[in-house]
Chain A
């Protein structure tokens, strides 16, 4: 079965405040309650599964410093994935297993495309953790916030632009990216042609 990549999940779930149309304001505060912690953890785990899948492809096609960065990111996401599995089990839940493959925006053919995909993956992971940051468990909020910080820092390593409010809907970061390469089409993800199997 094919899963969706983290960005697609973020679009489906959306941040609490963003659903109110703005990243701030009384309307968002008053109309949106906390996210159920277990639900948020499950979604975050799905995003981490997809990120691990994507980075397996990215690392395989990268060279030099980007390969090292992709490998480090792959290991970091595996670490978060395992942490989330533990948190879900601690709450009596059953962690979902990864899908066999994930629908990525595109399949990277080289290091440059891999960097573009990596930045998009980190954007998606950031958005999913943003939802978890609104959960009803303070310790889990902290975990989500730290995961967002790591993801935003990694994204900068692959695409040297910074959003004022990572995770919230905003201008396409690639529109102002200094990294060369064509603009990604986030809204029309292609069907993956590769089915690499991350560990």
Chain B
């Protein structure tokens, strides 16, 4: 009984708070809904998707440029694409993935592609050659960022980020053997 009373009390407190936000009985139904605060996990995911799409575009540009045989870089690209797929899959229904950076045939990054404050790759102008050292730098920075990004994520997303970071760290080592 005591627990039940506590629960009811909580409901009452919530109702009071909710009503306090209304302008009045007349406009309560017509007032436009306040924009909901974006879910932090969703915002993180959108940021991660944008950053990974940039990496995919970078590898695509490197392969297209042909300075390094595409057969050697293609497995790297495919693993990044797998990461991108996994990240996109976690976006809630109805939430659009950031667009503009994942086109496989261009190196142009998304216009808004700076939502990765922890070391994700920066933009590379279209047409600029992508060196192996640049790819290594991106892999190293991305891996380092994962160790920070996972700290505020849900448990399942934290695991995915830890795993993606491990792949990126291995990429950084492996790319050194190509150069």
Contact = CB atoms under 8 A, between A and B. Distances in A.
Given A23-B86, A32-B155, A133-B150, A168 B163 contact: yes
A25 interface: yes
Interface in B133-168: 143, 146-148, 150-152, 154-168
Interface residues of A, number: 45
Interface in A66-99: none
A151 interface: yes
Contacts of A118: none
**B contact face: mostly helix, strand, loop, or mixed:** helix
Given A141-B151, A166-B167, A29 B90 contact: yes
A129 B156 CA distance: 13
A148 B155 contact: no
Interface in A143-198: 144-146, 148-153, 155-157, 160, 162-168
Given A162-B174, A163-B167, A142 B151 contact: yes
B132 to A, nearest CB: 16
A124 interface: no
A126 B167 CA distance: 11
Nearest to A138: B151
Contacts of A155: 170
Contacts of A144: 162
Contact of A157 (B146, B150, B173): B173
Interface of B: 75, 78-79, 82-83, 86-87, 89-90, 92, 143, 146-148, 150-152, 154-174, 177
Interface of A: 15-17, 20, 23-26, 28-29, 32-35, 126, 129-131, 133-135, 138-139, 141-142, 144-146, 148-153, 155-157, 160, 162-168
